[in-house]
Amino acid sequence: MVKIADLLKASTTVSFEFFPPRSDEEATTLAATLKDLELLHPSFVSVTYRGGAESRQRTFDLVSMIQNETTLTPMAHLICVAHTRSELISILEEYRSIGVENLMALGGDPPSDPDAPRGELRYATELVALAREVGGFSIGVAAHPAGHPRSANLEEDRDHLAAKLEAADFAVTQFFFSLEEYTGLVDDLERRGVTKPVLPGIMPVTSLSSVPRMATMGSPVPEWAVQRLVDADAAGGPAAVRAEGIALASELCTGLMGVGAPGLHFYTLNRSSATREIAHALGLSGA
């Protein structure tokens, strides 16, 4: 098994993110996506996790399948919300027992149900420390170029991120759309003495209907980018919007590589076509 920290030391990485399927139809779509994107020879792939016993099992099953049935290197997401310390240790040991050595340590959103268990750990930093105790993992954490939604201000967010990243091996950002958002984040961390790798997260906007959703997820599409999409729609409809969204993402990736980003991390939404088109535009391996 290969640790992501070692991959980042060796070369620029390309990685993809998936979520566990909830139905047979979603499972069929994901199976095709994995087959398509495996041909691009990504450095690793990550699998999300929402918490709770059912989601925990779906994540474990998908990570285990990727580990045992593909050539891909998986990174398992884990959140500390709603878990006891002993449950988290059990999950970590279970991953380690099947050879998974890469972990994304997340705090997680507070449960919407007031009667749901809160868990013994509150912050990702605590989960990183616990994973270090169990041992054997290369550990990533999340970064938010625009600041975490629950942070009081950007300076506080950067302070927390710097402390979190000091304990971990690397960070992966929430998706964003302007190069300056990424360089600003990296510069802020460097001013705090933190120079560990920060992988930029990329999600192409392939329809105008997805623009409002991006904002609710904490990463609004800039007005200049929205205007390009609107102009494309006027000129050629949905197909032109999709092509313009791919072009915007490709331009962002080119800029990121130009400023020395350690890799590119693509949020796939369990589909391969947009990611493959961006990879082709960038001349990535196997595209």
Which pLDDT tens digit goes with each residue over 2-44? 999 999 999 999 999 999 998 889 999 999 999 999 999 999 9
> What's the pLDDT score for residue 254?
97
Instruction: Tell me which fold the domain 4-205+260-272 belongs to.
Output: TIM Barrel (3.20.20)
**Mean pLDDT throughout 228-249?**
97
Pairing relation of β-strands 102-106 and 44-47?
unpaired
Q: What are phi and psi of 282, to 5 degrees?
A: -90, -10
Mean pLDDT, rounded, of the chain = 93
110-142 residue pLDDT tens: 665 666 666 789 899 999 999 999 999 999 999
SS3 (DSSP) at 62? helix
> What's the pLDDT score for residue 53?
72
If one counts every other C-beta atom within 10 angstroms of the C-beta of residue 260, the result is: 9
| Catalytically active residues, by annotation | 17
Distance of CA 75 to the CA centre of its chain: 10
Confirm if 53 and 24 have CB atoms less than 8 A apart. Answer: no
Provide the H-helix boundaries in 81-222. Answer: 85-97, 124-134, 154-167, 179-191, 210-216
Tell which residue, 36, 79, 34, has the closest CA to residue 56. Answer: 79
SS3 (DSSP) at 10? helix
Q: What size, in residues, is the chain?
A: 287
Alpha-carbon distances, residue 90 vs 77, 78, 79, 131, 147 (angstroms) = 14, 12, 13, 11, 32
> What's the pLDDT score for residue 202?
97
State percent of the chain over pLDDT 90.
84
> What's the pLDDT score for residue 151?
85
Question: Which one-letter DSSP state was computed for residue 202?
Answer: E
Tell which residue, 265, 257, 144, has the closest CA to residue 204. Answer: 265
The burial of 285, by beta-carbon neighbours within 10 Å (0-12 exposed, 13-18 middle, 19 or more buried), is given as: exposed
Cα dihedral 52/124/21/75 (nearest 10)? -130
> What's the pLDDT score for residue 118?
66
Q: Is 286's pLDDT higher than 60?
A: no
Question: Bridge partners of 141?
Answer: 171
**Residue where the block lists tokens 């949905």:** 238
Per-residue pLDDT band for 287 (boundaries 50, 70, 90) equals: very low
Question: Bridge partners of 77?
Answer: 104
**Mean pLDDT throughout 210-227?**
93
